[in-house]
Amino acid sequence: MRILTILHDSIVDGNGLRTVLFFAGCPHRCPSCHNPQSWNADGGVEWTEEEVLQEVMENELSHVTFSGGEPFLQSKEIIPLAQKIKQNGKNIWCYTGYLFEELLQNSDHALLLEYVDVLVDGKFEIANRDLSLKYKGSSNQRIINVGKSLAQGEIILAVT
């Protein structure tokens, strides 16, 4: 998988202390994106699943956030990693420009969602930017409890 960077000890990319994996490649190209260097799918460095897992497990207290770029562009590569992260007792947040409903239409995306605890969905919209929002950049984005949403067949927002 192609990763731009791995950031340890973040407190702004989800609840609690987090290790953030910034994946390369993004088709959304949101105006005023805070991470436009992530748009290039050939950017960053190629990492193996084992290398990423080792990096993630370095901090026993930290959970994991998938960000980017667009993590779902690399769903097939991320699924086995996500499975191992969950087996090691960590929760996973994921940021995406896609909507939850769109992700369910693709089998690989839907499978990756099964390992995600909280999804922040929707493109960043500069017109809806709000610096007072916790864990998201614009008011159109949703913070979704994925497990409950999948179980109930409707969007259930996460309590943060």
| C-alpha angle 81-49-90 in degrees, rounded to nearest 5 | 35
| pLDDT score for 64 | 98
Structural domains of the chain, with CATH: 2-152 (3.20.20.70)
Token couple for 74: 């690399």
Residue range 73-89: mean pLDDT, rounded: 97
Q: Write down the pLDDT at residue 33.
A: 80
**What's the whole-model pTM score?**
0.95
How confident is the model at residue 18, as a pLDDT?
A: 97
The residue-averaged pLDDT of 37-42 equals 87
Taking the mean position of all CA atoms in its chain, how far away is CA 28? 14
Other residues' Cβ atoms within 10 Å of the Cβ of residue 22 = 22
Q: CB within 8 A of 65, min separation 6: which ones?
A: 10, 13, 14, 18, 19, 20, 21, 92, 93, 94, 95
Is the per-residue pLDDT at 157 higher than 80?
A: yes
Whole-number pLDDT of residue 29: 85
Average pLDDT in the 45-65 region?
95
The reported pLDDT for the residue numbered 31 is 80
Does the pLDDT value for residue 19 go beyond 90? yes
Contact (CB, 8 A) for 117 and 147: yes
**pLDDT at residue 34 above 80?**
no
Task: Tell me the CA end-to-end span of the chain in Å, nearest whole number.
Answer: 30
| pLDDT-above-70 percentage for the chain | 100
Q: Is the pLDDT of residue 80 over 90?
A: yes
